[in-house]
Chain A
Amino acid sequence: MGLGRRLYRGEIDIDFVGRWKLWYSLSGFLLIISIAGLLINGLNLGVEFKGGSVISFKPAVATTVEDVRTTFRDEGVHQAIVQTTNQRYRITSEDLSEATTAKLQQIIKQKYDVKEQIDVQSIGASWGGEVSHKAWIGLGVFMLAIILYLSMAFEPKMALAAIVALVHDLVITAGIYAWSGFEVTPATLLGFLTILGYSLYDAVVVFDMIKEVTAKLGTTSKQTYSMAANNALSHTLIRSLNTSLVAILPVAAILFIGTTLLGAGTLKDLSLALFVGMIVGTYSSLCVATPLLVTLKEREPKYQAIARRVAAASGGGGKKSGKGPKGSENAAVAKG
């Protein structure tokens, strides 16, 4: 059977949990690379964070990036970055005074025969600081709220595993931004924050199944926690891939439109962050959140006992002895 059909029938059986060493080292590697990127390159902060002016217009006469840049330089604008998408020019510069902006608008209107209003955005230097300050607070409050909520809906260890996976996603996404030099704007930040919700969606689906499957684990079960978890994961693999794919499709559509039709702006910045974050999030909910949960849970005495017994049972001899007094002891624990 081809992979596609096996996927369709949900018969894929990958030992995600068993390969935890692989995932941990892969994630560890990615985290180190990302943090290095953040330290070495830093993030390419957009004009919203540094303060500055953005002027954008659609010329009615043919022009070039170079020509536009010269026009700006003649008016004493030195740090003009000129971009063009779909015949719209976008000039990012240092914070311009109102007088300069007004003059530039006049010149642009005449020189490039622009009939409409010229789009002007000017951002004070402190604005970005406020946006990111609020974002950090939002992140903190969100994490706290989610830990509380998931602790109630599932259990604290699941909440912890989910949050670790979340931080993992955010760091790696930021790392990708640092290395690629994509511009970070408030819209990007918005994207990062939204990843929070999506990254957890998958984890919730998987954990819910794990909770259901492992609830049956008792003294007589032939499965360890990790086996049960892996089972649940394989079971929900299709679901996770489907939900992720379906979530990514509209984001990809926005990214496509944002890049081709509109160029730099909210659409592109937001969808790029989401796109990257969702892919990382799908990986982490399968390969980080669940193995981490298993690592945490296998330390519990109850599951350690099961693991020992199962190991002994599969080891061949001593099937009876393994189920001896220990078994009944555990049964009491399980009931209690």
Chain B
Amino acid sequence: MARPTSSHSKPGRTLLLLLALILALGGTMFLQKAFTPKLGLDLAGGTTLTLTPVTQNGASPPEEILDRAVNIIRDRVNGNGISDAEVAKSGDNIIISIPGVGRDEAIGLVSTTAELRFRQVLAMEATQLPQDLPTQAPTPGATPSGSASPKSSSSAKPQPSSTRSAGTPGPSVSPTGKALSSALTAPTPTATGQAAKPETTRGAQSDQRQQRHKGQDAKATPTPAATPSSTQQPANPNIDTTGIDPAVLKQFQALDCTDPKKRGQGVQDDANKQYAACESDGSYKYVLDKAKVVGTDIDTASAGVRQGTTEWLVQLDFKSKGASTWATLTGQAVSAPEPRNKVAVVLDGVVITAPNIISAIPGGRAEITGGFDQKSATDLAEQLKYGALPLKFNRSSAETVSSTLGQDQLQGGLIAGIIGLALVVVYSLLYYRGLGIVAVLSLVVATILTYTAVVVLGHNANFRLSLPHIIGLVVSIGITADSFIVYFERIRDEMKEGRRTLRAAVEVAWVRARRTILIADAVMFIAAVVLYALAVGGVAGFAFAMGLTTLIDIVVVFLFTKPFIAMLARLKFFAKGHPLSGLDSERMSADHSGSAGRTTTPQEA
């Protein structure tokens, strides 16, 4: 049994605890200047897409693959300039929420499975990343570029995926002799050939770019000024336009890779056409040939360390058909002049890497080396293996809600809540009279707690109030009120049976009612948890609201209703059983005579 004395003697302390809790939540609201809940798309307007993975025999896809798909879709959506979109996993499904309206084109592309393509590079050009300019203190003369890379057979033209390049040319070192290598060194000024990893520092990158300018300048315009300020660099005169579709060339010239939103991430490139694309980090742009080899030609890809070294590489295995086309493609590229000796790997509309082909690669195996660390090698291997989206998705549901319908629904939900609350209040007051005030105040406290909790959760845990939540909250007004009823009825029982004083009855009844309330709330909570964990779509939201209000119910009953009644029990109005208190003798009398005896039973002995 409980220790009624402790709570009996200090109801004020418990109420203070509640006050502290409310103040904490309210204070958080004020500090964050957040006073309204964040609304879900069904209330604020927007588009919600549910994508369901298509798997063989309907098995759940592995968690990590799903996570990868989520990241890719997020990149695509953000790449389209929709920065406020949310991509989240819900069970096996992926839910994409795009606020606002008129984003139909974005919706179209998120769920498509773009393919990996291998395209020969026809032309390429460096991009000026404006943010690099200030960091580039031009130090002319300090870097004798001409002598920088004597060993790199393929000229001083920078390696396209400069972020992954390193100082070791592949084929000569490769023990297996298979050499698809992004091994072209970035011309390192010291020409030591050490495996500098330029991607680790922006400074290193800048150096390279500077180097490149020098190289280009040296070739094209013999001015010693190595100023990288040539943002208005004209269409590079040394682009060989033979065989390039003029339309694609035009696109290429118009392409601005400096803006992440314009890099074309997520564009579905047509395998049978030439294509102008950006490097995924925007550092280069390319004109690419038709795709000769596609993602489905790859059997598997894996990341590993070359034996006897610490160098990370990505190994590719082609299927039989892919192997022959791959041999043809590499054979064609290897003899081509720079930059056509490169084969770009295009994924989701952007070039993820474009290694040099150093020799034709028959046999269906290839290695990409150069400047990888474990993560970049693993990432690339996964991209090569899975293509753009590691899973095929079905669009299970797509829902666009206009802001007016959203407002209507919000309004409807709120009106329903107010009516529901009012009905419960009226009923409590009619039935329980004085005690009804306790019920009403308890509901007020519960409402305050719920509102502040929803706002605080909204701004800290990104909880968005949607229609199912509102319904869940309104419905749970009932549960909260049920707890008071159980307690009130117990108090009346105690007073009837034991003829106890009110103050004693409040304590004894509490011990018994508490157990009932806790068991009943536990049942509700189990229901909420099960629904939340297993359900799809709006069900989870509803279950969340149900679980939240069940917890709030317990807080209110323990921290408000009980101590408040204990305090009221000290008042004469209740203790003496005033007819309006809800504890009057007529109600309590066990006398069946029917005479509405107004004689006050001696409650206070």
Residues of A within 8 A of B (CB): 1, 8-11, 48, 56, 58, 88, 98, 102, 116-124, 126-127, 130-131, 134-135, 137-138, 141-142, 145-146, 149-150, 153-154, 186-187, 189-190, 193-194, 196-198, 200-201, 204-205, 208-209, 212, 235-236, 238-239, 242-243, 245-254, 256-258, 261-262, 265-267, 270-271, 274
Q: A117-B45, A130-B536 are in contact. Are A201 and B479 (CB under 8 A)?
A: yes
B542 on the interface (CB 8 Å rule)?
A: yes
In this complex, what residue of A is CB-closest to B493?
A235
Contact partner of B526 (CB less than 8 A), chosen from A117, A149, A212, is A149
Nearest CB in chain A to that of B490: its residue: A239
B45-63 interface with A by 8 A CB criterion: 45, 50, 52
Can you name 11 extra interface pairs (CB under 8 A) apart from A120-B399, A245-B427? A9-B586, A10-B489, A116-B404, A117-B101, A118-B402, A142-B531, A150-B523, A194-B531, A242-B489, A253-B419, A254-B416
Smallest CB gap from B422: residue in A: A253
Shortest distance in angstroms between B231's beta carbon and chain A's nearest beta carbon? 40
Residue contacts A-B, CB under 8 angstroms, 25 given: A9-B587, A117-B101, A124-B395, A130-B52, A131-B537, A135-B535, A149-B526, A186-B539, A193-B527, A193-B539, A198-B479, A201-B479, A201-B520, A204-B516, A205-B516, A208-B515, A209-B516, A242-B485, A243-B478, A243-B482, A246-B478, A249-B420, A250-B416, A256-B416, A271-B471
Contact A253–B423 (Cβ < 8 Å): yes
CA distance A183 to B568 in the complex (A): 49
Which B residues lie within 8 Å of A153 (CB)? Answer: 519, 522
The residue of chain A having its C-beta at the shortest distance from the C-beta of B467 within the complex is A266
Pairwise interchain contact B431-A242, C-beta atoms closer than 8 A: yes
Can you list the 9 inter-chain pairs with the closest CB atoms, starting with the nearest? A250-B420, A247-B478, A253-B420, A197-B527, A253-B419, A127-B396, A117-B101, A117-B402, A249-B423
**Chain A: minimal CB distance from B261 (Å):** 23
| Contact with A246, one of B104, B415, B481, B512 (Cβ below 8 angstroms) | B481
Residues of B within 8 A of A121 (CB): 397-400
Contact assessment for B396 and A130 in the assembled complex, using a CB-CB cutoff below 8 Å? yes
Q: Is the CB of B538 within 8 A of A190?
A: yes
Residue with the greatest number of chain B CB neighbours at <10 A, chosen from A142, A187, A249, A250: A250
Contact residues, B518-563 vs A (CB, 8 A):
519-520, 522-524, 526-528, 530-531, 534-539, 542, 546
Contacts of B416 in A (CB 8 A): 250, 253-254, 256-258, 267, 271
Please indicate the chain A residues that have their CB under 8 angstroms from the CB of B52 in the complex. 124, 126-127, 130
| A243-B485 contact given A127-B397, A250-B420, CB 8 Å threshold | yes
Which residue from A116, A187, A238 sits with its C-beta under 8 Å from B489? A238
Q: Which of chain B's residues have a CB closer than 8 A to the CB of A209?
A: 516
Q: Which of B412, B419, B522 interacts with A267 by CB under 8 Å?
A: B412
Residues of chain A within 8 A of B403, CB atoms compared: 116-117
Q: Which residues of A contact B539 (CB under 8 A)?
A: 131, 134-135, 138, 186, 189-190, 193
Q: Which residues of B contact A (CB under 8 A)?
A: 42, 45, 50, 52, 91, 93, 101-102, 104, 108, 394-405, 408-409, 411-413, 415-417, 419-421, 423-424, 427-428, 431, 467-468, 471, 474-475, 477-479, 481-482, 485-486, 489, 492-493, 496, 512, 515-516, 519-520, 522-524, 526-528, 530-531, 534-539, 542, 546, 586-587, 589, 592, 594
Contact B523 A190 (CB under 8 A): no
In angstroms, Cα B417 to Cα A153, docked, is: 33
Residues of B within 8 A of A190 (CB): 468, 535, 538-539, 542
* Residues of chain A with a CB closer than 8 A to B478's CB: 198, 243, 246-251
Q: Which residue of A lies closest to B439 (CB)?
A: A246
- Chain B's interface: helix, strand, loop or mixed, by majority? helix
The residue among B396, B474, B586 with the most chain A CB atoms within 10 A of its own CB is B396
Identify the interface centre among A10, A127, A154, A201: most chain B CB within 10 Å of its CB: A201
Interface centre among A150, A198, A235, A246 (most CB of B within 10 A): A246
A138 B534 Cβ-Cβ under 8 A:
yes
Say yes or no: B530 contacts A138, CB within 8 Å.
yes
CA distance A98 to B477 in the complex (A): 42
Within the assembled complex, what's the spacing in Å between the Cα atoms of A242 and B403? Answer: 39
Q: Is the CB of A48 within 8 A of B397?
A: yes
Give A118 to B468 CA distance when docked, in angstroms.
21
A113 CB, min distance to chain B CBs, angstroms: 14
Residues of A with C-beta under 8 A to B485? 239, 242-243, 246
Given contacts A117-B101, A262-B409, contact A249 B424 (CB under 8 A): yes
Question: What is the CB-to-nearest-CB distance from B524 to chain A, in angstroms, rounded to a whole number?
Answer: 5
Q: Which of B91, B467, B519 has the most CB of A within 10 A?
A: B519
Closest to B525 in A: A197
A11 with B592: CB separation less than 8 A: yes
Q: Which of B104, B402, B475, B496 has the most CB of A within 10 A?
A: B475
Within the assembled complex, what's the spacing in Å between the Cα atoms of A254 and B423?
12
| B468 pairs with A250, CB closer than 8 A | no
Q: Inside 8 A of B398's CB, which chain A residues have their CB? A: 120-123
Q: Once the chains are docked, how many angstroms separate the CA of A126 from the CA of B53?
A: 11
A261 B531 Cβ-Cβ under 8 A? no
The answer to whether B519 touches A122, judged by C-beta atoms less than 8 angstroms apart, is: no
Q: How far is the CB of B540 from chain A (nearest CB, A)?
A: 10
Q: How far is the CA of A177 from the CA of B471 in the complex (A)?
A: 21
CB-CB < 8 A to A200: which residues of B? 520, 523, 527
Is B397 a contact of A122 with CB atoms below 8 Å?
Answer: yes
Q: Is the pair B408, A254 in contact by a Cβ cutoff of 8 Å?
A: no
Whole-angstrom CA separation of A120 from B45 in the bound complex: 12
CB neighbours (8 Å) of B528 from chain A are: 197
CA A251 to CA B478, docked complex, whole Å: 8
B400, B423, B428, B531: the one within 8 Å of A117 (CB): B400
Q: Given contacts A1-B594, A141-B534, A197-B523, is CB(A257)–CB(B516) below 8 Å? A: no
A267 touches B475 (CB 8 A): no
In the complex, what residue of chain B is closest to A248 when comparing beta carbons?
B478
**Residues in B whose Cβ lies below 8 Å from that of A254:** 413, 416, 420, 471, 474-475
List of B residues within 8 angstroms of A194 by Cβ:
475, 527, 531, 542, 546
Rounded to whole angstroms, the CA-CA distance of A252 and B519 in the bound complex is: 26
| CB–CB B412/A201 < 8 A | no
CB B394 to nearest CB in A, in angstroms, measures 6
Kindly state the separation between the CA atoms of A120 and B403 in the bound complex, as whole angstroms. 13
Give chain B nearest CB distance to A176 CB in angstroms: 19
**CB-defined contacts of B587 to chain A, threshold 8 Å:** 8-9
Given A119-B401, A261-B408, A274 and B475 touching (CB < 8 A)?
A: yes
Query: B42's closest neighbor in chain A, by CB?
Result: A266
Instruction: Report Cα–Cα, A246/B478, bound state, in Å.
Output: 5
Query: A134 touches which one: B45, B420, B515, B535 (CB < 8 A)?
Result: B535
Determine whether the beta carbon of B417 is less than 8 Å from that of A250.
yes
Known contacts A146-B523, A258-B412, A266-B471; is-contact A126 B394 (Cβ 8 Å): yes
Q: How far does the alpha carbon of A198 sit from the alpha carbon of B515 in the complex, in Å?
A: 17
Once A145-B530, A246-B485, A250-B423 are accepted as A-B contacts, the answer to whether A120 and B431 lie under 8 Å apart by CB is: no
Q: Are B475 and A249 in contact (CB under 8 A)?
A: no
Distance from A120 Cβ to chain B, minimum over Cβ atoms (Å): 5
Q: Are B405 and A56 in contact (CB under 8 A)?
A: yes
In the complex where A135-B535, A250-B416, A261-B408 touch, is A197 in contact with B524 (Cβ < 8 A)? yes
Assembly CA distance A122 to B104 (angstroms): 13
User: Which of B50, B474, B586: most chain A Cβ within 10 A?
Assistant: B474
Q: How far is the CA of A200 from the CA of B396 in the complex (A)?
A: 34
Contacts of A102 in B (CB 8 A): 104
Task: Note all chain B residues with C-beta closer than 8 A to A123.
Answer: 396-398
- Closest CB of chain B to A73's CB: distance in Å? 23
Roughly how many angstroms separate A238 CA and B108 CA in the complex, as a whole number?
Answer: 57
Give the shortest distance, in Å, between B90 (CB) and chain A (any CB). Answer: 11
B431: chain A residues within 8 A (beta carbon): 8, 242
B396 engages A126 (CB within 8 Å): yes
Most buried by B among A88, A252, A266: A266
Q: Closest B-chain residue to A120, C-beta based?
A: B400
**A190, B541: Cα distance in complex, Å:** 10
B442 to chain A, nearest CB (A): 12
Residues of A within 8 A of B546 (CB): 194, 197
